[in-house]
Amino acid sequence: MKVDIMKVEIIKESKQQCIEQGIQSDIQPVFNKCFSDEELKIELCKYSEVLEVFNYFVDKFLSSTSGNPYLIAISNHEGYILSFRGDSTIIELASKLGIKEGVQYNEDIGTNAIALSLRYGQPIEVIGEDHYHDVMKGMACCTAPIYGEGGNRIVGTLSLMTMIDYAHPNLLALISTLADSVEREIVLRRQNTEHHILNQVLLATNYYGVVVTDAFGRIVELNENILRMLHWDNHDKEKYLHSSVFDVSLIGDFFQDVIDQGEASVGVELALQVRGSIRYYMLDVVPIYDQQILIRIVGTLRNITEMKKTEELLRSTEKLVYAGEVAVSIAHEIRNPLTTVKGMIQLSGKDSKLLHYDLIMSELERMNLIISDFMILGKPKVVQFSDEYSSTILKEVLSIFQIHADMNDISIISETIQDVQVKCDRNQMKQVILNILRNAMEALPSGGEIHISLDIEGSFQRIKFTDNGEGMPPEVLRRMGEPFHTTKSDGNGLGMMIVNNIIASHGGRVDITSEVGKGTSVAIFLPMK
């Protein structure tokens, strides 16, 4: 909250400064300062090492987000753009805005993330209406400062620019992580072999777990971060000193490779299961030589779990777009002949004594429901918000669903503790409730109980569905909501994905807990009106 308040004040102050300077918001910003070709050439030479590291990390990042309109730029400590890379679409848009190598981002061109990051020495994001100029309000810009050795002096900035439709809350954390990676690589390239330099630069850092061994793999130094990451005893650091790093299953093999082959292992991604969840780390193992004699091996471990989650979010978005395209194509091809078949059977009616008439109509209706799910996935309906009471919508759904519950020997218990108005799309909320109830019913093949409660939690209306059915193991629970992922023989894997999408479009969230043999609980949270 403090960070958000600080950002609001920073943006507000910057815009006020623009007004005082007489900058017109309806005119495209003009870059008043730009390096000459010769000046840019000199600056590029000065930053050659930094740019080499920048290109390495940015190329890896862009390759993992191919197809997304991201532009990543690096500037010097005065805000002059030295280089940028990215998708051709966003580069073309940047060119139209006058952004090119050599221009300077300063506060004279209006509110921008680079100038503010340099001024305040911290990561800054300027998104949509945060911009002063109208032409920039469709953009999202995030900048993180790059600090030099010792972390006391800013040597440049790393920035990410994209269209606002592609912005998400993790962009600032992502560019900060990328800037940290650049800083780390620069430090590693310039590190001194002296032991006290290792202590100052590596062991005292707040970001890395560090373990230092001698040439034979015996641990000679480590910091508290590595103890936490490896889940060693934080209070007894001494018992790990002089032990063999080869006994540490997560990292030991990489130290052995350095000794055997004499080459560093840089940027190795590792996964470690911690208390039922997977944590991701990036490992660097670097040999230290004194006159070509190996004297130390330094391993640094960094937690990149949040970055991996961001990458997974981007991949899921791409998968969803593709799934939508396939869904529309399939649904259109099937719905027309299905409608014809259903209509002809209805026209003949029960009087025709068609064998298994009710069963055929029931199965056709189920097919129609499946196709409707595909249609929603491919082409979402227009949301029409209105002020509604959750209890009213719930009662309407239960009046229909109760028949199915009775037929399956399922008892539904509903209680309203606190009920308030929420702004929602009535039809979409009915679909959410119906999808959750269907899942609960399918988890109770031999009958059971579904408990529903309405209450308030914080600023949200909470609707909680709990069944005493089969439950789910952790590996199935983790993938709930992925398109086409299902454990049902006749399922399509779209039900919970649609629930997640609808609730997200309402500004809410879905929490699911489950235990095998005990049942599942699904809680949806909707912002109160």
Question: For 191-304, where are the alpha helices, taking DSSP H only?
Answer: 195-198, 224-229, 252-261
- The reply to whether 281 and 334 lie within a common domain is no
pLDDT: is 486 or 38 the higher one?
38
Token pair belonging to 89: 């679409």
Mean pLDDT check: name the lowest of 204-208, 224-228, 424-428. 204-208
- Domain enclosing residue 394, as ranges: 386-527
HSE toward the beta carbon, residue 230, CA cutoff 13 A: 26
Is residue 130 located within the same domain as residue 92?
yes
Classify residue 381: in a domain, yes or no: no
Statement to judge: residues 461 and 321 lie in one domain: no
Q: Which of 304, 326, 355 is the last residue of a domain?
A: 304
170 and 234: one domain?
Answer: no
Residues 235 and 190 in one domain: no
Asked if residue 177 and residue 39 are part of one domain, the reply reads yes
Residue 200 lies in a domain: no
173 shares its domain with 59: yes
Last residue of a domain, one of 375, 395, 412: 375
Residue 70 falls within a domain, yes or no? Answer: yes
**pLDDT surpasses 80 at 91:** yes
Residue 132 predicted with pLDDT over 60: yes
Helix crossing, 426-442 with 495-505: angle to 10°?
150
> In this predicted structure, what is the pLDDT of residue 6?
80
In a domain, 416, yes or no: yes
Residues 51, 169 contacting (CB under 8 angstroms)? no
Q: How far is CA 339 from CA 342, 367, 455, in A?
A: 5, 10, 42
Domain count, the chain: 4
For 268-297, the pLDDT digits (tens) are 888 877 666 778 888 889 888 877 888 888
Residues 390 and 511 in one domain: yes
- Give domain status of residue 35, yes or no: yes
Is the Cα dihedral 165, 170, 176, 182 positive or negative?
A: negative
- Mind listing the pLDDT tens digit for each residue in 377-394? 555 556 678 999 999 999
201 is a domain residue: no
Q: Look at residues 139, 166, 195 and tell me which one is the last residue of a structural domain.
A: 195
113 confidence band (pLDDT: 50, 70, 90): very high
Token pair for 150:
């010792």
Q: Are residues 466 and 494 in the same domain?
A: yes
Q: Are residues 300 and 179 in the same domain?
A: no
| d(C-alpha 405, C-alpha 450), whole Å | 9
Describe the crossing of helices 305-348 and 171-190 by its angle, rounded to 10 degrees. Answer: 150
pLDDT, tens digit, for every residue of 455-498? 999 999 999 999 998 888 888 887 776 655 555 544 445 678 77
Average pLDDT over residues 59-68: 84
Are residues 218 and 132 part of one domain? no
Give the pair of three-digit tokens for residue 345. Answer: 């059977």
233 and 356 together in one domain: no
Instruction: Assess if residue 114 is contained within a domain.
Output: yes
User: How far apart are the C-alpha atoms of 39 and 310, rounded to whole Å?
Assistant: 38
Is the residue at 142 inside a domain?
Answer: yes
77-88 confidence digits (pLDDT tens): 999 999 999 988
